[in-house]
Amino acid sequence: MLSSLFFYLTLFSAVVGQCPIANITDPLAFPYVFRVQVQSDLGYPITFPGFAVNQNYILTSDMAFRKNAALIKITDQFGVVYRTPKSTIIASGRFAILRTCRPLPGPYISMSQFSFNRLSDNLTNAEFILFNENDDVLKKVKPLTVFNEGHCVTITNDLFESVCVDINVTPGFCSYISDAFGDGSTPTFFRAPAVVINGQVNAIYSSSSEIGCNGCSVNDQVGFYSSFLSCIEYLLTEIPGGVGNP
């Protein structure tokens, strides 16, 4: 599924210095974030952040979708497993929702339009959040610069449906996402990131995204990620039972 991406994936090892990938040791910092993991077609783990939206559903990337939901593993930041009987693609195919058997206690991620940054200016204080494949401790990677909406549209031509980030200012970023190189070697992991601005998750890696590490792309220094705000009306109507924090 991600083989074409990894065939061209390039890690910028020439960058001097590494930005820290830090554990978020306080689960209350992002209490609605869960770890979602699936296996790729080539057998390596792909790990996503997922976001509790109400008592029964977790919102995540469409790339975590599996017709056989038993292939999806969901855990909270304490390692508690939440079995999922159902996985559904929603919102223009960019996102998936996972139903859980165990009720999600909350709090839930904000889905208020006013929670999201409308990106009228470039921002230099954003960050990535992600999970690695071996533990349930949420990680953050920074610094991260997010481009304003207008500049993002000139890069992606997708009518404000993405959040664009400048990979140049995040040293070593690609190495936190995967250990694959441009020679076509098979990765041993892939960690899908989400973009956080002022404490609010604004976007996540999806099938419509570019990581920003693709060496064959003219935009190989820019990553673009699927925006929640651009699909907010679909999200509010397509999530069964609505959202817990509208």
Give the position of tokens 């481009």. Answer: 147
Selection from 227, 225, 244 nearest residue 31 by Cα: 244
For range 36-60, the mean pLDDT:
97
Selection from 232, 214, 234 nearest residue 224 by Cα: 214
Examine the domain organization and report whether 78 and 150 are in the same domain.
no
Examine the domain organization and report whether 151 and 224 are in the same domain.
yes
The more confident residue out of 216 and 121 is 121
pLDDT above 70: residue 15 = no
Planar angle of CA 147, 148, 149, nearest 5 degrees: 120
Number of domains within the chain: 2
Examine the domain organization and report whether 58 and 153 are in the same domain.
no
Task: Share the mean pLDDT of the chain.
Answer: 88
In a domain, 117, yes or no: yes
Q: Is the peptide bond before 240 cis (omega within 30 degrees of 0)?
A: no
The more confident residue out of 214 and 128 is 128
CATH number at residue 165: 2.40.10
Q: What is the domain range of residue 159?
A: 3-23+111-229
Q: Specify the 3-state DSSP secondary structure of 155.
A: helix
| CA dist., res. 245 & res. 232, Å (int) | 13
Examine the domain organization and report whether 220 and 152 are in the same domain.
yes
CATH number at residue 46: 2.40.10.10
Q: How many CA atoms does the CB half-sphere of 146 hold within 13 Å?
A: 25
| CA dist., res. 241 & res. 16, Å (int) | 49
Examine the domain organization and report whether 53 and 19 are in the same domain.
no
Examine the domain organization and report whether 217 and 104 are in the same domain.
no
Sequence-ordered strand ranges (E) for 169-221: 190-191, 194-197, 200-204
| CA dist., res. 216 & res. 184, Å (int) | 13
Q: How many CA atoms does the CB half-sphere of 161 hold within 13 Å?
A: 18
In a domain, 243, yes or no: no
pLDDT band at 12 (very low <50, low <70, confident <90, very high): very low
For range 173-190, the mean pLDDT:
81
For 228, counting Cβ atoms within 10 Å of its Cβ (0-12 exposed, 13-18 middle, 19+ buried), the class is: buried
What's the predicted TM-score (pTM) here? 0.90
Examine the domain organization and report whether 147 and 164 are in the same domain.
yes
- For residue 5, the model assigns a pLDDT of 41
Examine the domain organization and report whether 170 and 195 are in the same domain.
yes
Examine the domain organization and report whether 45 and 124 are in the same domain.
no
Examine the domain organization and report whether 158 and 81 are in the same domain.
no
Examine the domain organization and report whether 152 and 65 are in the same domain.
no
pLDDT tens digits, one per residue of 76-100: 999 999 999 999 999 989 999 999 9
pLDDT above 60: residue 54 = yes
pLDDT band at 158 (very low <50, low <70, confident <90, very high): confident
Are 72 and 84 in contact by the 8 Å Cβ rule? The answer is yes
Give the position of tokens 């590490």. Answer: 213
| CA dist., res. 161 & res. 141, Å (int) | 23
In a domain, 28, yes or no: no
